[in-house]
Chains A and B, each alone.
Chain A
């Protein structure tokens, strides 16, 4: 099963390339920097990043699977964020020089043999002049996103992801996380 950003969403993401970051915000993005909806504000534009869930089927097992999606930012969203002080100006004015997708490949094994594969985009990273801003999903089955400011980018220093992939005497799974430039 694949669960990745669409070509249109990647194109939308690319629109903020080479723009200056103004702030990161969200109506419910409090100081823990966790929310289902995050606004990337640049000097010229706004781009929304939203966590959503959809029913999916993996090996006959029906479950909610989450996705990360780009979306439009409404005036009310900005006003709510401002009203609650949920605007973060760290690294303001720095140019977004690269956009990177964080892609997970989860492989399930039964009795040592590969039984299923789940590919999913779990985050978006903006490369700035002095570091990175990552917006990543905290779970494989819910909407929550986490904003992380990083000096160095590696898969190890991105937040972990919660999931329902079970391990027992017959079943196991492995996770491979990769960084893909847009």
Chain B
């Protein structure tokens, strides 16, 4: 197969599943949805802060673990690629409510976790 360089998947970097678990563990669990919590597969999670865009960018960088975000051709955000088709999308403006959003796709589980960033209530 042809030549290739770089890309985002790789090497000794941790898997997306490990990164996801580690990052979610940093947020306290809450039953009212006011903090990020891993409350089951396919649920939308919410993170409230004074500056949602900054919070989203910060968390996206943590997900990246040094990988380079790739802008999407349709201009609707950025993606970080992990091994085995796992990936994290950052959409600065989600089409549902306009808030920044991060989507975490873990192919091995067939699951998608969605995190929306909202202003403090």
> By the criterion of a CB under 8 Å from any partner CB, how many residues of chain A are at the interface?
39
Alpha-carbon separation in the docked complex, A143 to B87 (Å):
11
Q: Which segment of B29-37, B52-60, B78-86 sits at the interface? A: B78-86
Given contacts A63-B96, A141-B103, A164-B42, contact A34 B5 (CB under 8 A): no
Q: Judging by beta carbons under 8 Å apart, are A164 and B4 in contact?
A: no
* One of A85, A138, A164 near B85 (C-beta < 8 A): A138
* One of B83, B87, B96 near A144 (C-beta < 8 A): B87
Residues on the A chain within 8 Å of B105, using CB: 138-139, 142, 144, 162
- A-B residue pair count with CB separations less than 8 angstroms: 109
Tell whether B38 is near chain A: CB-to-CB under 8 Å: no
Alpha-carbon separation in the docked complex, A131 to B40 (Å):
40
Q: Judging by beta carbons under 8 Å apart, are B85 and A36 in contact?
A: no
Tell whether A50 is near chain B: CB-to-CB under 8 Å: yes
Max chain B Cβ within 10 angstroms of own Cβ: one of A37, A52, A164: A164
Residues on the B chain within 8 Å of A87, using CB: 2-3
* One of B7, B72, B107 near A30 (C-beta < 8 A): B7
Residues on the B chain within 8 Å of A146, using CB: 85
Seen from chain A, the residues whose Cβ lies within 8 Å of a Cβ on chain B are 23, 28, 30-32, 34-37, 50, 52-53, 55, 62-64, 84-90, 138-139, 141-144, 146, 149, 159-166
